[in-house]
Amino acid sequence: MSSTEENTDMALPCVLVTSCDGEFKEEELIKQILNSQHLPQPTKREDTVVWYPWTINNKYYTADVQLCVVPSTYQMSSEIAQSMQAFIAYFDSKVKDGLEKLNPWIPVVEDLSPEVQILVCDRVCENGVTRHEAQQWCLSHAFELVEINPQELPDEDDDFPESTGVKRIVQALNANVWSSVEMKDGHNQGFGLMSSLVASRHNNPRHSHDSPSCSLPAEGTLTSEETNHTDSGSNRDTQEVSVVDAMTDLDIQELANLTAGDADAENFERLFTKLKEMKDKASSLPHEQRKVHAEKVAKAFWMAIGGEEDEIDGLSSGEDS
C-alpha cells in the first residue's frame, strides 16, 4: 500500500466494534453487518486491532467507512479516537454482571461522543441482564439497545414497524451523516431530517413490558428529602432550558422552511449547515439534557412540517413539548 492510500484509509470514518463477551468475537458481528459469510481483506492490522473496509451504499448517498475491531480500551489509539464516528459494543446478557464489563469503555465513549452508540446482545435474559436493566443503562449512557435475536418481534399490524436485530444496526449506520458522505443526485432533500427522526425514535423504546416508565430523563423517582434539596437547582435549570428552547424554536422553523423549499443545491447546503449548527449546540449541553433536546427537536420539527402528533407519540419523554 502506498503512503497516499494509507493516509486516505486513516482519514476514513471509523465504526469501532468491540465485544465484552469472551465467547463472541467482533468479527462475527461484522460479518452480519456486511451480510457476508466471509470477512473482506483487512485494510490494516495492528496486533489484535483490525480495520475492515465497508462502502455504505443506499439511495441517498455512498460513504466509505472502516469497521474497526478493538477488543479493549488498551488497544485504543489516537488514530482510532480521531476517526471514530460510531461505537458498537456487544455484551453477554446471560450473566448478571454483563453490563459491568462495559465500564472501561464509558469514559472513552463519553469523551469522544460518537454519532452512533449501540449496545448489542443476543437477547435480554431474565436470569441475567433484563430488558429493564439494559434499557436503563442505555438511557443513562445515550446508547440504543439492539437484540440480535429478540424474543418479542414488532407488531405486524403496525404501519411503521421498528426494525430489529442486525437490520436495525445497519439502519442506524445508514442514517448517520458520515464525514466521507457523497450524496447522490436527486436524493439530497430531507436526509438530515430522517437521520434525526430515526435516531430519536429508536433511542426511546416504546415496547417494554417490564419497564412501563423508562422514558427520558432516566433519573428515577426522587424521595421527598431529595426533592427539597433539588428545588433551587430545578428552577435554575428551568430558566436555562427556556433559553435553549427559544433558540431551538427558531432553528426548527428555519429547518421546516428549508425542507419545504426548492430542492436545489443552495437550499440543501444551507439545510446541511443548519443541522450541523444544531448538532454543535446540542453537544454543549450537559449529558443528560442532550437526548431530551434531540427528542424535542425531532418532535417539534415533525409538527412544523405538518406531521400529526399521534404519529410520533413514541418520542414523548413525558414532558410537555
DSSP 95-109: STTTTGGGGGGHHHH
Residues in the chain: 321
User: Could you tell me the CA-to-CA distances from 171 to 33, 162, 176, 274 in Å, in that order?
Assistant: 10, 10, 9, 23
What's the angle, vertex CA 96, arms to CA 94 and CA 99, rounded to 5?
90
Give pLDDT, residue 250: 63
Record the pTM: 0.60
Give pLDDT, residue 176: 87
Which range, 24-33, 240-249, 303-312, is most confident? 24-33
Number of helices (H) and strands (E) in the chain: give both, helices first.
10, 8
Average pLDDT, the chain: 74
Instruction: Determine which of 84-88, 108-112, 150-154, 171-175 has the lowest per-residue pLDDT on average.
Output: 150-154
Amino acid identity of residue 238, one-letter, is: T
Q: Report how far residue 64's alpha carbon sits from residue 10's, in angstroms, rounded to the nearest whole number.
A: 11
Query: Which three-class secondary structure state does DSSP give residue 92?
Result: coil
Of the candidates 143, 152, 154, the one whose C-alpha atom is nearest the C-alpha of residue 116 is 143
Pick the more confident residue, 271 or 130.
Answer: 130
Residue 283 — pLDDT band, cuts 50, 70, 90? Answer: low
Per the listing, cell 417490564 goes with: 210
Pick the more confident residue, 29 or 193.
Answer: 29
CB 177 within 8 A of CB 278: no
Instruction: Determine which of 22-31, 69-78, 81-90, 279-288 has the lowest per-residue pLDDT on average.
Output: 279-288
Domains, the chain, with CATH or none: 14-183 (3.40.50.11960), 185-201+240-313 (no CATH)
Residue 215 scores a pLDDT above 70? no
Q: Report how far residue 64's alpha carbon sits from residue 182's, in angstroms, rounded to the nearest whole number.
A: 9
What's the angle, vertex CA 286, arms to CA 110 and CA 171, rounded to 5?
55
In sequence order, what are the beta bridge partners of 53?
66
- The secondary structure of residue 155, as a DSSP letter, is P
Q: Report how far residue 321's alpha carbon sits from residue 316's, in angstroms, rounded to the nearest whole number.
A: 8
Of the candidates 227, 200, 185, the one whose C-alpha atom is nearest the C-alpha of residue 315 is 200
In sequence order, what are the beta bridge partners of 87?
16, 117
Query: Which three-class secondary structure state does DSSP give residue 26?
Result: helix
Query: Which three-class secondary structure state does DSSP give residue 303?
Result: helix
Give pLDDT, residue 170: 94
List pLDDT tens digits, range 7-49.
Answer: 444 479 999 999 999 999 999 999 999 999 999 999 999 999 9
Give pLDDT, residue 182: 87
CB 17 within 8 A of CB 26: yes
